[in-house]
A and B are shown apart, each in its own frame.
Chain A
Amino acid sequence: MATSEAAGDAFEQLPAALLATIMTKLDVSSIRSLASTCTTLRSCASQILHFLPNFHLLDVALSINLLRPLLPPNPYLSSLKVDCSKLDDSSIEDLIRPSLHDLSLHNCSDFSGKLLSQIGGQCKDLRSLYLGCVADKRGRAIHISNLEELLRGCTELKTLSLMFDISLFPRYNFAQAWSSASENLTSLEIGYVSSVMVTELLSPNVGPNQPPDLLRPSILPSLQRLCLSVDYITDTMVETISKGLINLTHLDLRDAPIIEPRVSFDLTNASLQQINQHGKLKHLSLVRSQEFLITYFRRVNDLGILLMADRCSSMESICLGGFCRVTDSGFKTILHSCSTLYKLRVSHGMLLTNLVFLDISATSLSLTHVSLRWCNLLRNQAVISLASNLDLRVLDLRDCRNLGDEALQAISTLHKLKILLLDGTDITDAGLTYLRERVIGSLVSLSIRGCKRLTDKCISALFDPSSKQELQELDLSNLPNLSDNGIFSLAKNRVPILELRMRQCPLIGDISVMALASMQVDDYRSHGSSLRVLDLYNCGGITTLSFRWLKKPYFPRLRWLGVTGSLNRDMVDALARSRPFLHVAGHGEELGTDHWDGLYMHDNEELDELEQWLLEGEDESDDEEMEDVQNNGEMVE
Chain B
Amino acid sequence: MITLRSSDGETFDIDEVVAVEMQTIKHMMEDGCAESVIPVLNVTGKILAKVIDFCKKHVESAKAEELKAWDANFIKVNQATLYDLIMAANYLDCKSLLDLTCQTVADMIKGKSPEEIRGIFNIKNDFTPEEEEEIRRANQWAFE
Contacts and interface: CB of A to CB of B under 8 A. Distances in A.
A7 B144 contact: no
A18 B90 contact: yes
A632 to B, nearest CB: 22
A12 B123 contact: yes
Contact of A9 (B120, B122, B138): B122
Interface of B, secondary structure class, is helix
Interface stretch (B23-31, B45-53, B71-79): B71-79
A21 B65 contact: no
Of listed B76, B110, B121, residue having the most chain A CB within 10 A: B121
A116 to B, nearest CB: 28
B117 interface: yes
B101 to A, nearest CB: 9
A29 interface: yes
Given A14-B83, A524-B120, A2 B135 contact: no
Given A4-B122, A30-B111, A42 B106 contact: no
Contacts of A580: 141
A362 interface: no
A2 B144 contact: no
A66 B136 CA distance: 12
Given A33-B112, A33-B114, A556-B113, A38 B105 contact: no
Contact of A14 (B86, B111, B116): B86
A531 to B, nearest CB: 12
Interface string A468-512: 000000000000000000000000000000000000000000000
A416 interface: no
Nearest to B103: A25
B139 A35 contact: yes
B114 A37 contact: yes
B78 A11 contact: no
B64 interface: yes
Contacts of B126: 38-39
Interface residues of A, number: 51
Nearest to B114: A36
Contacts of A14: 83, 86-87
Given A33-B143, A39-B127, A60-B141, A5 B112 contact: no
A294 interface: no
A190 B139 CA distance: 35
Contacts of B98: 21
A37 B83 contact: no
A215 interface: no
Contact of B122 (A11, A36, A556): A11
A29 B114 CA distance: 11
A26 B111 CA distance: 9
Nearest to B76: A1
Given A37-B123, A524-B116, A10 B80 contact: yes
Nearest to A580: B141
Contact of A37 (B78, B80, B102, B117): B117
A578 B76 CA distance: 40
Given A7-B121, A36-B114, A38-B127, A29 B87 contact: no
Contacts of A28: 142
Given A11-B83, A581-B141, A525 B121 contact: no
B88 to A, nearest CB: 11
A580 B137 CA distance: 12
Contact of B135 (A27, A42, A62): A42
Contact of A556 (B68, B103, B138, B144): B144
A35 B131 CA distance: 12
Instruction: Specify which of B87, B104, B111, B131 lies most central, judged by the most chain A CB atoms within 10 Å of its CB.
Output: B111
A556 B111 CA distance: 11
The residue among A10, A525, A581 with the most chain B CB atoms within 10 A of its own CB is A10
A17 B98 CA distance: 12
Given A26-B106, A69-B138, A582-B144, A9 B124 contact: yes
A8 interface: yes
B78 to A, nearest CB: 6
Contacts of A5: 78-80
Those 8 A-B pairs whose CB atoms lie nearest each other, nearest first = A32-B142, A25-B106, A7-B79, A36-B114, A29-B142, A11-B121, A32-B139, A2-B79
14 contacts: A7-B78, A18-B90, A29-B111, A29-B142, A30-B111, A32-B143, A33-B143, A36-B143, A38-B123, A38-B126, A38-B127, A39-B126, A525-B116, A579-B144
